[in-house]
Structure 1
Amino acid sequence: MPSPFDVTAGASTGVADVIAAFGQESYWLARLAFGGDSTTLDSLVIDPAGGIVVHTTQDLRRDMLPSAIGRMLPGNAAITRTESWEPHVGGKAYGKFRIAARGVPTTGAGTMLLQTVSTGSRLRVEGTVQVRIPVVGRQIEHFVVDLIARDVRRMQQFTADWIAGET
């Protein structure tokens, strides 16, 4: 059974500015470098209507899991993420994400809502993650859910700082 998560994070920047940042390769390269891991930007596609699709890949063994768990995984274990955003309308932008793993039976998916609030914007990320490994799968799911909650908040602050020119 997948583990659910629901994370909300605020930023001092408006929805239009955040979506505009998401459409820039320089933003993604800076964001991935800020994470300090080996995540690569595989593609950034902006459709004519203003929709955005981002594909990234992250080395699971080096970056995401505790070393004891990482050593049990195959050498090519990686997480691929696809994040897509619709154009913002009326102070809101809707997005979706998918997570798939190579070398580990793991999946995740969910939705994102970026909306205007009086202090800037608020991002809500809802989804599930499932790790189908006997005995330790549920423990890894809980670890990943906690990691997602932390990273959503960190990345919202990074985005606000990047837009303000502070990174």
Structure 2
Amino acid sequence: MARRLSYSARYEHPAEKLYQAQMQRQYWDDLMEGFRELTPISNVEEFETGAGGMRVVLKQTLTRDMLPPIAQTVMMKDMVITRVESLDAFDATGTPGSYTASIPAGPGSLTGEQELFDTETGCTVRKTTEVKVYLPFVNGKLEQLMLVNLVDLFRGEAEFTADWVAKNLA
């Protein structure tokens, strides 16, 4: 059974500024540099922009000893997470996108949709995630663990993004 999470990050900046940030390779490189404090192997593998929007592939490696005990029971090697994020062409009424995260030989999947839109006080990025783990007996615990960690990730990325936009696009 899948578990779902809806998360909204609110910003004081207009949607066009956040979109402008995500259309820059430097934004993603700086994000991965920040991640290296927690996950030493964090890189931008691919980055594409064009009239149709943006697509980035991020790869992070968590060594097995960094994983929580319940995750160590199913992961016998380091966990390599490949994350793909995309945003369509900017639309002032709302810019849709998607994201996925995968782990080779991993016991589940993570997919999501995101939307960037203006608000009266700035903008919001709404992310709707679905997590599935295909292991009987521990699937619910692992799904819940993934969602809790995902909220922390989204929060940290929102803080990073707000700071990055303020410093680089003000």
| TM-score grouping bracket, smaller chain normalisation | 0.7 to 0.9
1:118 is aligned to 120
Q: Secondary structure at the match of 1:134?
A: coil
Give the Cα–Cα distance (whole angstroms) in 2 for the partners of residues 65 and 129 of structure 1: 18
Residues 79-127 of structure 1, C-alpha deviation per residue, up to 9 Å, x if partnerless?
Answer: 2111110111124211111222113222111110111112211111002
Structure 1 position 11 matched with structure 2 position 36: no
Give the Cα–Cα distance (whole angstroms) in 1 for the partners of residues 62 and 132 of structure 2: 15
Residues 67-86 of structure 1, C-alpha deviation per residue, up to 9 Å, x if partnerless?
Answer: 56336513243221111101
AA of the residue aligned to 2:55: V
Unaligned runs of 5+ in 1: none
Give the Cα–Cα distance (whole angstroms) in 1 for the partners of residues 80 and 97 of structure 2: 23
Q: Secondary structure at the match of 1:9?
A: strand
Cα drift, residue 140 of structure 1: 1.3
Structure 1 position 133 matched with structure 2 position 135: yes
Structure 1 runs of 4+ off > 3 angstroms? 60-65
Unaligned runs of 5+ in 2: none
Give the Cα–Cα distance (whole angstroms) in 1 for the partners of residues 67 and 52 of structure 2: 35
Give the Cα–Cα distance (whole angstroms) in 2 for the partners of residues 64 and 124 of structure 1: 29
2:55 is aligned to 53
Q: Secondary structure at the match of 2:156?
A: helix
Give RMSD over aligned pairs.
Answer: 2.1
Q: Kindly, what percent of the aligned residue pairs are identical?
A: 25
Give the Cα–Cα distance (whole angstroms) in 1 for the partners of residues 48 and 65 of structure 2: 25
Q: TM-score, normalised by structure 1?
A: 0.88
